[in-house]
Each structure stands twice: as structure tokens, then as C-alpha cells.
């Protein structure tokens, strides 16, 4: 047994000494301890500080350390703490710079860098990155989902999980240099023209599935397969490098029978003679070495507009068949609209759950809720009655008996009686002013006055959710948008080409209404910034230059939240305008997917081929009646 007060987690004994944060004065020791089993934070650790002379113990943080150190040694706190903050900031800046070399950065900046790259080189895909000179790609087989995610490896060994990370990395380089470096232009040009590497790229997934491990392909190698490892070898590598997948064993299923509603989708096998679209999709699957069979593809069509139903609607391909039950496993996929067409597997599956003994649509993870299920024991998932998660699931307060409250810190947990009329959901009081009116309502007689009071449930502290300025106006605007949406009107933002086109400060110059001292932000401006707003460089009191924003009236704004308050409505990221879409058309979103609106805003189209037929005046094309765009009255 370990000594008293010693806690062992994952083979590590606590408390233990750890390195001191950079910039703190000498003569102190950092001690990392673990929460005991009696604590709601069991499994987590915390750091406290003590002085080597034993005078100070259990000091909370770096600021308190500096205060005590300066007091003991007669030093100026402001000077010493400023030095610590300087070292801390340098370390953070260095970490950010290193992250940018991997394409990792704040979301808004990342989108801006991607847009800058696309403006110079257009869209690129996985085969193009694979064909960059000196680059490789690794496919890792995942036994749980049978998928093979890709990892692109640069010549210097830096790994990228997404093509967008690559675009963000080189977009940042272009912004820093002020123009497109010749070596980047040469690299992208070589990647787009190396068709041999493009043809090799499609074999990676198949080879990783065959060995059920990892396969690394190098288009410049004569052997092509530069490394391959079995399932056991990959598991050993992941163990030694510490890149194990995040443990989700503590995640709970909150969904119960009341959280599902009836759902009657059309789930049918796809036959090639049904439509040209299905025939093309089947042809694409067969080109990717899928076995031709009658049940190769399924199509799911939801019977209603629903955020969960829309997400799992679409086409599914036959992934495998269960060796015991012989029931099929289907995986959702989509095809890219731009040539060359690429198949994108999605994280949605139709499968038989052995644990629940039913058909389910979801992520094939028993620790997560099924998005939809059917209790039928049929051998195929077609022609069944289904249940679908309600649209409000995950957006409202949970039943207290099914909620996990152990992860909340003790000081943030409060108790309050549930209203007698609210039998299932607990009401979260969002404003202290509502507290008195709530108390009066509880005193008033109700039909359920004799009911047994429910157990107290944790609620969000009043101070933590205090209404911000302008929240009531936003709520009113949101209510109007909801009312318009319920009436069948389209309420999403409709973009013009001028609004979407990325702006660079170097192309605009200093404007007369800017505040004194403002400098041009030379790079691409943030995507969400309205057309009549500006992005500037502003010098802080410490001399650092940061991004700020200027309203049309010349008001200096510090962040997006403040800009939304002044603008009077939410600010959205603008979509990427396709090269084939005419500039007098418009773009918007429906169900989270881009759609294209004709110049007079009367119809919308989802596919490029439909837009092209309208633009060219194809006499044989007749738009569907459902494509009429219904806008709310102004």
C-alpha cells in the first residue's frame, strides 16, 4: 500500500515536485498534488508552491509567489511581476508561432489564412497535398469504425491531419512575406500536375484496411510503400508515443424514451437505373475498388425538416457485414462538387447494435446516444419504423435524475426547488431579478399543490449567467427570426459577391474616419467583418500592436462581441464564393449547407449543374416548385 496521503494515478505518485514556471524568482518549489477519492475532482491534479526555507507553504499561484518573494526581499512587485508576465507572453507567442507552422491558429485567423491561400491558388485536395515534392501520407486503420484517417507528412516531419491546416499554414506564410514566395508557388504547381501521385493516393485506404494497421506512401519512392505496420505494431507505437485516443469511458448516455419522437424516413436500396445521379455515385464507388453488389448503396430521406434528421439523411455505402448476424453496416458519404470528384466518408453509420438489440443510426459508439433507432429485428434496415432524437434534445435542462453533477466544482453548485408544474425539466433562473417573481409563483396555489416536492438540482449561479447589455434586443430579434422561420420564410443571411470577396488592408489604405494613431492591417481582414467596417493595427499601452475594428462612424471596437452590439445583429462568417458562380448571383445556407440564389432572389439551387443550366438558358431545364425562395416581408 502507498504511504498515507500518497495518491497513485496511472502509475504516478502524488504529491511530486514539478518544474517551476519560467520567469518566477528562485528559491521556490512547485508541488503537484492529486484530488482524493472523496473529491468530485478525483482523477485531476493541481499545483501549489512552497518556499525552500519553509516559511511559506501551499501558495496558490505565481502572482502570490511574486508578492511574498518581493515582501521578504524588499523588491518592487510591479517590476518583478512584469518580468514574469513578459517571459510568460514570450513563451505563449513562441507556442503560437510553432502552432502556425502546423496550421493551428484561432478560428477566425485560420479562416482568413485559408481564404488568402485559396485566393492565390484556388481549392486543393488530399491528392494534391500528397503530390507536393517531398511529402508523404500515412493511413491509420481504426478497428472501431473501420475508417482510415489520413495524416500528411511534410519534408521536415511536421504532420497535418487536414488539408485546410496545410492551406492555413501557407496562407500565414504568404501574409508574412507580403506576396507569394516562389518556392510555395512551385510546390503547389507540382502538386496539381503530378497525376501519378494522384492515382497512387486512392490506394492508401485499401492497403491500410488489408493490413489493419498503418501504411505510409511516398510518391517519390521507388517502392511506393515506404513503411507498413500491423495492428499490433501500430498499437505499440501509439502506446510509446503517448498518442492514445481520448478515453470516453466516463461519458454518460442521457437520452431516454421520452427524448425520441416518431420518424418515418424513406430508406431504400439504390439501383443504378433509378437516376443518373445514383448511377454516377455507384460508378465512383466501384472505381474505388468497392465490390459490386445489389445492396452496395442506401439512400435515407427524412420525412420532415429536422436538425438531426437532415444530418443523417443522404447516401450510405456498404461498409461490411457482421460475421455473426450477417447484418450489413452502412456508412454515410458525400462527394465533392469540384472535379476531380472525391468521396468523403462521414461519421454516421447504420448498424445493428448487439448491446441494445436494435437497428441504430449514429457513430457506432455505445457511450453516445443513437441519433435514431428501430426496435425491429429485421435482417436489413429498410422498411422499418424508426424513432429520432427530438430537435430540442441537448438544448434544454436535463432531468435531474439523469444528469451528472459530479463534474461541477462545489462552489458553483446551488440548489433550488423545481416548480411543481415542471414535472420533467428543471428551470434555470438566468437573472437575479427573476428570483422574487419565481418565489411569488411558488407561493401561489396550483393544481399540483399536493404533489411531493422534487429533489433539489444544481443550477447555474446567478452571477455566472448575468444578462449582458443588449441581450434582450438579441432575444427579440431571435424571436422574430424564429417566428419567420416557423412561417416558412428563409431567414439566413443572403450574401452578394461584393460582401464575400476577401478584403486586404493593403488594397484599401487609411480611411479618413479612423481614429488618430490607427495603422493599416495589411493582410486579409477577418471574414465576419461587415463591408462598411475596417480592421486596423492599434498600439497598446505596452507598445504591442494588435487587431482592432472601426465602425462606419469611427468608433474603436475591441472584439467581435462589441461589434455585434453596435451593428445590431449577429455577424456571420462569409462563405467561400465558387469560381463557377456568376458575380450577380447570391449565396446563403440551408440546413448548414451552401445554396445558390438567382439574381432576383426568387429561386435557390443546391447543385452546380443546375446553376449552369439556368445561366446558359437550357430550354429543357425546369426548376422544381420547391426551389422557390420565400423571404420574409420587409
d(CA 517, CA 539): 8
pLDDT tens string 315-350: 998 888 876 777 898 988 887 766 666 677 788 899
Instruction: Please report which helix (H) or strand (E) contains residue 80, including its range.
Output: helix 77-100
d(CA 286, CA 428): 53
Rg (CA), the chain: 29
Backbone torsions φ then ψ of 153, nearest 5 degrees? -115, 120
Instruction: Please report which helix (H) or strand (E) contains residue 615, including its range.
Output: helix 608-615
Residue 267, C-alpha cell as written in the block? 430508406
Mean pLDDT over the full length of the chain: 76
Residue 519, C-alpha cell as written in the block? 495603422
DSSP state of 627: G
Alpha helices, DSSP H, located in 454-518:
471-486, 497-500
DSSP state of 464: G
Backbone torsions φ then ψ of 496, nearest 5 degrees? -100, 165
Structure confidence at residue 339 (pLDDT):
62
pLDDT tens string 497-512: 877 766 777 667 777 7
d(CA 325, CA 357): 11
Whole-angstrom CA distances from 179 to 117, 164, 612 are 11, 20, 34
360: which strand partners? Answer: 351, 373
Q: Do the Cβ atoms of 226 and 172 come closer than 8 Å?
A: no
557: which strand partners? Answer: 549
Q: Which residues of the chain have pLDDT under 50?
A: 1-2, 243-253, 397-470
CA dihedral of residues 386, 392, 398, 401 (deg, nearest 10): -20
d(CA 398, CA 54): 49
Residue 598, C-alpha cell as written in the block? 438567382
Q: Do the Cβ atoms of 31 and 49 come closer than 8 Å?
A: yes
d(CA 535, CA 507): 12
Residue 612, C-alpha cell as written in the block? 449552369
d(CA 71, CA 62): 14
Residue pointed to by grid coordinates 426496435: 375
Three-state secondary-structure class, residue 215: strand
All structural domains of the chain: 7-97 (3.30.890), 107-241 (no CATH), 268-389 (no CATH), 495-567 (no CATH), 586-627 (no CATH)
Tell me which residue of 560, 442, 574 sits closest to 498, measured CA to CA. 574
CA 317 to chain centre: 25
Phi-psi region of 164 (alpha: psi -120 to 50; beta: other; left: phi over 0): alpha
For the entire predicted model, the pTM comes to 0.35
DSSP letter string over 260-318? Answer: EEEE--EEEE--TTT-HHHHHHHHHHHHTTPPP-TTSEEEEE-SS--HHHHHH-EEEEE
d(CA 525, CA 547): 10
Three-state secondary-structure class, residue 520: strand
Structure confidence at residue 144 (pLDDT):
74
Amino acid at each position: 500500500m502507498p504511504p498515507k496521503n500518497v495518491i497513485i494515478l496511472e502509475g504516478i505518485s502524488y504529491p511530486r515536485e514539478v518544474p517551476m514556471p519560467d520567469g518566477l524568482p528562485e528559491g521556490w518549489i512547485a508541488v503537484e498534488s492529486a484530488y482524493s477519492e472523496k473529491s468530485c475532482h478525483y482523477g485531476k491534479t493541481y499545483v501549489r508552491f512552497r518556499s525552500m526555507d519553509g516559511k511559506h507553504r501551499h501558495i496558490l499561484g505565481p502572482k502570490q509567489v511574486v508578492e511574498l518573494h518581493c515582501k521578504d526581499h524588499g523588491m518592487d512587485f510591479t517590476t518583478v511581476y512584469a518580468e514574469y508576465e513578459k517571459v510568460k507572453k514570450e513563451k505563449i507567442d513562441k507556442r503560437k508561432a510553432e502552432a502556425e507552422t502546423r496550421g493551428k491558429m484561432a478560428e477566425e485567423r485560420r479562416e482568413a489564412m485559408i481564404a488568402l491561400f485559396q485566393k492565390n491558388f484556388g481549392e486543393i485536395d488530399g491528392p494534391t497535398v500528397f503530390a507536393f515534392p517531398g511529402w508523404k501520407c500515412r493511413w491509420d486503420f481504426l478497428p472501431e469504425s473501420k475508417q482510415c484517417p489520413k495524416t500528411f507528412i511534410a519534408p521536415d516531419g511536421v504532420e497535418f491531419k487536414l488539408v485546410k491546416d496545410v492551406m492555413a499554414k501557407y496562407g500565414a506564410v504568404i501574409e508574412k512575406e507580403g506576396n507569394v514566395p516562389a518556392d510555395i508557388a512551385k510546390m503547389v504547381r507540382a502538386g496539381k500536375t503530378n497525376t501519378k501521385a494522384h492515382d497512387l493516393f486512392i490506394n492508401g485506404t485499401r492497403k491500410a484496411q488489408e493490413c489493419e494497421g498503418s501504411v505510409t506512401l511516398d510518391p517519390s519512392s521507388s517502392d511506393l510503400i515506404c513503411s507498413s505496420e500491423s495492428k499490433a505494431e501500430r498499437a505499440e507505437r501509439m502506446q510509446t508515443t503517448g498518442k492514445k485516443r481520448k478515453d470516453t469511458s466516463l461519458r454518460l448516455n442521457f437520452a431516454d424514451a421520452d427524448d425520441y419522437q416518431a420518424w418515418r424516413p424513406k430508406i431504400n436500396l439504390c439501383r443504378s437505373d433509378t437516376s443518373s445521379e445514383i448511377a454516377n455515385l455507384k460508378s465512383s464507388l466501384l472505381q474505388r475498388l468497392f465490390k459490386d453488389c445489389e445492396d452496395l448503396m442506401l439512400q435515407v430521406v427524412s420525412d420532415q425538416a429536422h436538425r438531426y434528421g437532415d444530418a443523417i439523411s443522404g447516401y450510405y455505402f456498404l461498409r461490411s457485414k457482421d460475421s455473426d448476424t450477417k447484418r450489413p453496416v452502412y456508412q454515410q458519404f458525400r462527394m465533392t462538387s469540384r472535379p476531380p470528384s472525391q468521396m468523403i466518408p462521414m461519421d454516421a453509420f447504420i448498424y445493428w447494435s448487439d448491446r441494445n438489440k436494435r437497428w441504430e443510426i449514429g457513430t457506432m459508439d455505445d457511450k453516445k446516444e443513437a441519433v435514431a433507432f428501430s426496435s425491429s429485428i429485421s435482417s436489413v434496415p429498410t422498411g422499418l419504423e424508426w424513432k429520432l432524437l427530438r430537435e430540442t434534445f441537448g438544448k434544454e435542462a436535463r432531468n435531474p435524475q439523469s444528469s451528472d453533477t459530479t463534474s461541477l466544482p462545489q462552489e458553483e453548485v446551488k440548489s433550488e426547488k423545481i416548480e411543481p408544474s415542471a414535472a420533467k425539466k428543471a428551470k434555470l433562473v438566468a437573472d437575479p431579478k427573476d428570483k422574487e417573481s419565481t418565489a411569488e409563483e411558488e407561493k401561489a396555489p396550483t393544481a399540483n399543490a399536493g404533489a411531493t416536492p422534487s429533489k433539489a438540482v444544481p443550477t447555474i449561479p446567478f452571477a455566472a449567467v448575468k444578462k449582458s447589455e443588449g441581450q434582450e434586443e438579441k432575444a427579440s430579434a431571435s424571436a422574430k427570426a424564429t417566428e419567420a422561420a416557423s412561417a416558412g420564410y428563409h431567414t439566413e443571411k443572403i450574401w452578394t459577391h461584393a460582401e464575400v470577396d476577401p478584403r486586404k488592408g493593403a488594397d484599401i489604405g487609411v480611411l479618413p474616419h479612423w481614429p488618430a494613431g490607427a495603422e493599416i492591417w495589411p493582410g486579409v481582414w477577418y471574414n465576419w467583418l461587415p463591408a462598411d467596417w475596417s480592421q486596423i493595427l492599434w498600439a497598446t499601452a505596452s507598445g504591442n500592436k494588435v487587431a482592432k475594428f472601426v465602425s462606419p462612424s469611427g468608433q474603436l471596437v475591441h472584439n467581435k462581441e462589441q461589434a455585434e452590439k453596435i451593428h445590431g445583429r449577429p455577424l456571420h462568417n462569409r462563405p467561400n464564393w465558387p469560381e463557377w458562380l456568376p458575380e450577380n448571383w447570391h449565396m446563403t445556407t440551408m440546413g448548414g449547407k451552401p445554396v445558390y440564389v438567382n439574381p432576383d432572389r426568387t429561386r435557390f439551387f443546391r447543385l452546380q449543374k443546375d446553376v449552369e443550366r439556368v445561366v446558359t438558358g437550357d430550354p429543357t431545364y425546369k426548376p422544381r416548385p420547391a426551389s422557390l425562395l420565400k423571404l420574409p416581408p420587409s
